[in-house]
Amino acid sequence: MEDNTGQPKEISKFNEGLLQIQRLDYLWRSIELSTRSGHYDPSSWKYLLDSVWRELYADVEKQSDKNNLIQDNKKFILKIQIAELKNTPNKIYSTLNARHEFLKLLQTKVGKGGSYADSTENEFE
């Protein structure tokens, strides 16, 4: 197929949305494996959460409340840094977990998380 300039029109063979969901799934599984062990590495968890944020960032940019979402993420990062400076393990854990929960909710908000159907619907998409 050609466009109006006579050049072949290129169409992606792959759906980036699906690939992004697969990358996010890998990151979340990596986090869960680490934190469930009871011997979690806070630095690893923190950097994996940073990777989740980077995966979601392009979708955040399309949100009407993008500035608030970006500020919220920065607040979580600052709280984590403060907890690390104070070297309080419980506070580090709770602030990492709060950011984790924020990113899980954000993933759903931007359309890369769970999809819910109306209970009155008879068919799945």
Task: Tell me: pLDDT of 11 over 90.
Answer: no
Q: Tokens 């197929």 label which residue?
A: 1
Here the tokens at position 61 are 């940019």
Taking the alpha carbons at both ends of the chain, their separation in whole angstroms is 30
Binned at pLDDT 50, 70 and 90, residue 50 comes out as very high
Per-residue model confidence (pLDDT) at position 84:
94
Which domain does 94 fall in, by range? Answer: 41-109
Q: What's the angle, vertex CA 108, arms to CA 101 and CA 31, rounded to 5?
A: 45
User: pLDDT (tens digit, 9 = 90+) per residue, 57-107?
Assistant: 999 999 999 999 999 999 999 999 999 999 989 999 999 999 999 999 999
12 domain-assigned: no
81 domain-assigned: yes
89 domain-assigned: yes
Name the β-bridge partners of 2.
8
**Amino acid present at 114:** G
23 domain-assigned: no
96 domain-assigned: yes
Q: Which residues contact 38 (CB under 8 A, 6 or more apart)?
A: none
Average pLDDT over residues 43-60: 95
- The total number of structural domains in the chain stands at 1
10 domain-assigned: no
Quote the CA–CA distance of 81 and 95 in Å, as a whole number: 9
Per-residue model confidence (pLDDT) at position 35:
84
Per-residue model confidence (pLDDT) at position 15:
74
121 domain-assigned: no
Task: Tell me: pLDDT of 40 over 80.
Answer: no
